[in-house]
Amino acid sequence: MTRLTRRAAASALVVAMGLPALAACGGSRHADPDKPAAPKRAPKDNTPQLGAVAPGGVRPMGPWATRPVAVYALQRLAPNDSAGWTSAIADPPALQRAFDDELRFAFEQRRGLPEWKQLPDLERAARRATPFSPMLRDLPVEALVGRLDERLRTVPAPLAESIRMIGGLTGTRWALVPAQLKFLPAPGGQRAVVRVLLVDGRSGEIGFAADVLGEPAAAFGPAVVASVAQRIADQFVAP
C-alpha cells in the first residue's frame, strides 16, 4: 500500500468513527435556546434530627453504648448564623475546646460506657504514636457536614487513618466524631446543633449520622453548648 493509499484509508477510518458522535449531537442544533436547562438534583438528605429523649424512651445510638468507642474533638464551627452568635465569639477554638470538655463531662456522668475512651485518652495515645502522631483536630470533614449525601458511605481517608491508628492504640473499633457545631433558629431564639457520626475504624464506613439539637435559648451563653453536649450523651445512655 502506498503512502497516499494509507493516508486515504486512515482518513476514512476517522470519518467512520466520528459518524455516531455527529449523529448523536445533531439534535442539539435545534434546541430551544430559551428553554432553561434542567436543574441538577441535589443529593437527598436523610440525616435524622435528634432532640430530647423521653424517660424510658428509645435511645437512637444506644447500640453503641456497650461497644468500644473513641470520642473525637469537635472538628468545625459553622461560620455564621442568622442571629450573629458565631460572629460574636472572640475565640472560636476556645469554644470548640469548651464543647469538648462539656461532652466529656456529659459522658463521664453516665454509667454503662466502660469501654469508651475520651479525648484526653486519645491525646495521650497520639503522643505515644511518634513519629506518626495521628491528628485529632482539623480533619477534613467538609463532605460530612451540611447536606449529607445519602450515597456517601465512608469518611475521608485522613480521618479514617486517624481512627484506625487511634483504635489500635486504645482498643476502640468505633469513633464518635462531632463534625460541626452550628446555631439554628429555634422557638424563642436559637439552639446549638451538632452533626455527629459513628465511624467504623476498620473500614472507615459511617455506621450512623445525625444532627443533635440542643435546647432553645434567647441569647448565647455556656448553657447553649452544655445543653447540646448533654443531648448527645442522651442518645446513648440515660443520665
Average pLDDT over residues 202-214: 96
| Poorest-pLDDT segment among 24-28, 98-102, 111-115, 165-169 | 24-28
* Residues 72/199, Cβ–Cβ less than 8 Å: no
pLDDT tens digit string along 119-153? 999 999 999 888 888 999 999 999 999 887 777 89
Closest CA to 60 of 68, 69, 50, 70: 50
Q: Residue 50 phi/psi, 5° resolution? A: -115, 125
Confidence (pLDDT) at 45: 56
Burial letters 76-109, b for 16+ CB under 10 A, else e = bbeeebebebbeeeeeeeebbebbbebbbebbee
Here the contacts of 21-24 (C-beta below 8 Å, separation 24 or greater) are: none
Average pLDDT, the chain: 84
Instruction: Record the cell numbers describing residue 80, joined without a space.
Output: 455564621
pLDDT tens digit string along 27-36? 444 555 444 4
Alpha-helix runs per DSSP H in the chain = 3-25, 92-108, 119-128, 157-170, 222-234
CATH architecture of the domain formed by 49-53+63-234: 3-Layer(aba) Sandwich (3.40)
Closest CA to 231 of 60, 46, 56, 111: 60
> pTM for this one?
0.80
Residue 178 belongs to what H/E stretch?
A: strand 174-186
201 pLDDT tier (thresholds 50, 70, 90): very high
Tell me how far apart the alpha carbons of residues 196 and 176 are, in angstroms, rounded to a whole number.
7
Confidence (pLDDT) at 40: 52
Confidence (pLDDT) at 16: 36
- Whether the pLDDT of residue 26 is over 70: the answer is no
Tell me how far apart the alpha carbons of residues 209 and 177 are, in angstroms, rounded to a whole number.
9
Residue 131: cis peptide before it, omega within 30 degrees of 0: yes
* Residues 196/177, Cβ–Cβ less than 8 Å: yes
101 pLDDT tier (thresholds 50, 70, 90): very high
